[in-house]
Amino acid sequence: MKNNIYDKYLVEEKMPTMWCPGCGNGIVLQSIIRAIDEMDLDPEKIVFVSGIGCSSRAVNYLKFDCMHTNHGRAIAFATGIKMANPELKVIVLTGDGDCASIGGNHLIHACRRNIDLTVICMNNSNYGMTGGQYSPTTPLNSFTKTSVYGSYEPPFDLCDLTKSAGATYVARCATYLPVQMKDIIKKALNHHGLSFVDCASDCPSLYGRLNRLGDAGEMMLRWKDRLVSVTQSQKMSEEELKDKVIWGEFVNKSDRMEYTDIYKENIRRAKEAAHE
Amino acid sequence: MKLKVVIDRKMCKGCGICVVLCPKKILKIDEEGKASVTERQECIGCRQCEFHCPDFAILMGDDDGQL
């Protein structure tokens, strides 16, 4: 297969990927490269940063400048890259355990600063790489390797978390809707300020198996009844929304200044003060 | 010319997502555990299988299977 979108952006020698059959990470990665292809971005101006985990292995397959960093510290490294060279488009590929638990502090502080990063979280509700332990987004009463009687910790809603921390673009999508996911990622890449995209995906070989949700195909079809768009959800009661996943844009505003812009402004002011 | 499904068997891991999503039900998992097309002329080119494939194994090609 030659001259196609995959050859253009993916490293052929590293294929097939290390992900299990039916893993949602591949669909998210595919949506990202389709978004970049449609936007016709300069590959020299894009940097991918990732932490540790199944999702973070995505950077190994990309023909871009990539950085595979410490567990949870992807956003910290990305902040450094962006501050050193604000011309670059910095994309953080991270998982739910990586960005919400171990790197949770970095996530909320990046949102508070509103630095121009695009954080794409591949949320599969458990720690896949280490064997399926529960993560901060594991739904209540679901089974994982470390919650054999059902998880009794209430999960984080990552969109609510980033929204309240001050992110200026927050959206959620699912692997069942890859075309809509591509459109949301395009908007997130265009946004000036911190954009957070929560990509709800499946882990059929660990989370799906322990919760008896069937194979990858059955898990994919489960999304059909569970996904509700933001506009639909406004007409529904709280009881109806109980087991649903709301997808769409939650926040899209530009009322706050971006962090590198503030930094540049401060340097200009300091120089002016020094001349006087 | 309408484009039709082409499966790269080297890349396929046989997860079965394309099989359940195909509206014409022309995909199946064969004896080798990989996705294959049963009646290629029936493909309507909706690209559901292509966009949902986690292993980058499905693309759209012409009648001869060329991309």
Residues B8-66: tens digit of each pLDDT: 888 889 888 999 999 988 888 888 888 888 888 888 888 889 999 999 888 888 767 66
pLDDT of res. A240: 83
Which residues of chain B make contact with A15, given a CB cutoff of 8 A?
10-11, 56
Do residues A123 and A96 lie in contact, with contact meaning Cβ atoms separated by under 8 Å? yes
- Torsion of Cα atoms, A89 then A93 then A96 then A98, to 10°: -100
| Any B CB within 8 A of A24 CB | yes
Q: Do B54 and A23 touch (CB under 8 A)?
A: yes
Q: Looking at residue A1, what is its pLDDT?
A: 45
**Are B13 and A179 within 8 A, CB to CB?**
no
Q: How many CB pairs below 8 A link A and B?
A: 74
d(CA A134, CA B29): 32
Nearest Cα to Cα of residue B25 among B54, B60, B49, B2: B49
| CATH fold label, B4-59 | Alpha-Beta Plaits (3.30.70)
According to DSSP, residue A20 is labeled P
Q: How many CB atoms lie within 10 A of CB A42?
A: 8
Tokens 């052929």 identify what position?
A12
Q: A22 CB near a chain B CB, below 8 Å?
A: yes
DSSP string, A180-241: HHHHHHHHHHH-SS-EEEEEE---IIIIIHHTT--SHHHHHHHHHHHEEEHHHHHTS-TTTT
For A31, the closest chain B residue by CA position comes to: B51
Distance from CA of A185 to the nearest CA of B (A): 15
Element (H, E) at A192: none
pLDDT digit string, tens, across residues A58-112: 999 999 999 999 998 999 999 999 999 999 999 999 999 888 889 899 999 999 9
b/e map of A129-164 (b: 16 or more CB within 10 Å)?
beebbbbbbbeeebbbeebeeebeeebbebbebbbe
Is the CB of B62 inside 8 Å of chain A's CB atoms?
A: no
Spell out the domain ranges in chain B. Answer: 4-59
Alpha-carbon A181 to chain mean position: 11
CA-based nearest distance A67→chain B, Å: 22
What is the mean pLDDT, run by run of 10 residues, along chain A of 276 residues? Answer: 76 88 91 91 91 90 91 92 93 91 91 92 90 90 90 90 92 92 93 92 90 88 90 87 89 90 92 90
Task: Please say whether the beta carbons of A94 and A86 come within 8 A.
Answer: no
pLDDT for the residue numbered A236: 87
Q: Which helix (H) or strand (E) holds A163?
A: helix A158-165
- CA neighbours closer than 13 Å in the CB half-sphere of residue A198: 29
Pairing between β-strand A245-252 and β-strand A169-174 as defined by DSSP bridges: antiparallel
What is d(CA A76, CA A117) in angstroms, rounded to the nearest whole number? 11
Residues written for chain A: 276
Q: Determine the pLDDT at residue B65.
A: 65
Amino acid letter for position A99: C
Is B35 in the A-facing interface, judged by CB distances under 8 Å?
no
Mark yes or no for CB contact B51/A30 under 8 Å: yes
Q: Which fold has domain A5-275?
A: Rossmann fold (3.40.50)
Burial tier of A249 (Cβ tally within 10 Å: 0-12, 13-18, 19+): middle
Query: Of the candidates A2, A17, A31, which has its C-beta nearest B55's C-beta?
Result: A17
- Which residue in B51, B52, B67 is closest to A1 by CB distance? B67
Taking an 8 Å cut-off on Cβ atoms, the answer to whether A216 and B52 are in contact is: no
In Å, how far are A13, A60, B57 from A4, measured between CA atoms?
A: 16, 19, 12
Cross-chain Cβ contact A27/B53 below 8 Å: yes
**Distance (Å) from the alpha carbon of B2 to chain A's nearest alpha carbon:** 17
Residue A170 tokens read as: 């927050």
The complex's ipTM? 0.90
